Chain A
Amino acid sequence: MTDNELLEQLFRPAREMQIADNGFSEKVMKGLPQGRDVKRLSRLWTIFCVVVAIVLFVLLGAWDTVIMGLLTWLSTLPNQHHLLMLTLTAGVLALLAVSEVVYRELHRERFSVL
């Protein structure tokens, strides 16, 4: 018997062997991480809330109120008191933006998954 025939004789049964499932697939499916579903639901919930907000905004005619508010704000802008408030608001917003960027950088891995 040649060496190749000897090896063939050894490996043939292993090559033909089929392993029955016997609940293995079910076990794998139960062990799958749930994270994807949760993230998907979270995204769907966010989209739903945004859509509801836009619909309510349009239906309740919020445009007029916003435009009136903006015009009033612009007309009183030269007032020193408002300028101080504007600067403070801009400063707070900038601070929040910087802290958000720093937080995202520190947790980059988490945000890249999302």
Chain B
Amino acid sequence: MSRLNDLSLATQVAVFHNKRAFDQLVREYQSPVRRFFLNLTTGDGQLSDDLAQDTFIKAYTHIGQYRGTSSFLTWVTRIAYNVWYDYCRSERGRMKTEMLDTAAPMTNGVAALVSSPTPQPTLKMDIHQALGQLKDEERTCITLQMIDGYPIDDIAKITGMPANTVKSHLKRGKEKLVDYLKKNGYDR
């Protein structure tokens, strides 16, 4: 869908509260947004859909703020990142409380909470397991660049991080992934 068409639909939603226009936007962009969350949650389909739903509802309530300077998908992805960030923050708080209650060892990031505890030998699970090795910020940057194809400048805009920080996360994330893949024999 062209940016002009996106802007036209967004304007119809903002000015005339045209829900059909918003429905068109949701149908067009549900796949990349849900895929983004599916990779961040390392494969938790239900959680991904819940977060994606929150994202689109936020997009609807703030549609007047879309100016068309970037693509609608980039704008929605920025909202999605904020939804993910809020979710991680609330989960970290909850995890800390639970850890204190049960005195269990602390794990790194939300991935540990949502990923499958038993490894499965499918390629789909492999990518999520590989992404599960990364910190939340590294996984976000890697997902945005390697899967969604965003350049570093756009990743910086979406995440609100400085471009150099994004580069560092990408470098460290890729090193960890390559190391993980080599250790598991994928380089043969």
Contacts and interface: CB of A to CB of B under 8 A. Distances in A.
Would you call the interface of chain B mostly helix, strand, loop, or mixed? helix
A48 interface: no
Interface string A20-37: 110011011101110011
Would you call the interface of chain A mostly helix, strand, loop, or mixed? helix
Contacts of A64: none
Given A18-B31, A28-B26, A33-B60, 20 more contacts: A1-B188, A6-B178, A6-B182, A7-B177, A10-B127, A10-B181, A11-B147, A14-B147, A19-B31, A19-B34, A19-B38, A24-B34, A25-B27, A25-B30, A27-B49, A28-B53, A28-B56, A29-B19, A29-B23, A32-B19
Given A19-B35, A27-B53, A32 B30 contact: no
B149 A15 contact: yes
Contact of B17 (A9, A15, A29, A36): A36
A17 interface: yes
B35 A10 contact: no
A26 to B, nearest CB: 9
B101 interface: no
A10 B186 contact: yes
B17 A25 contact: no
Contacts of B130: 10
A8 to B, nearest CB: 8
B148 to A, nearest CB: 8
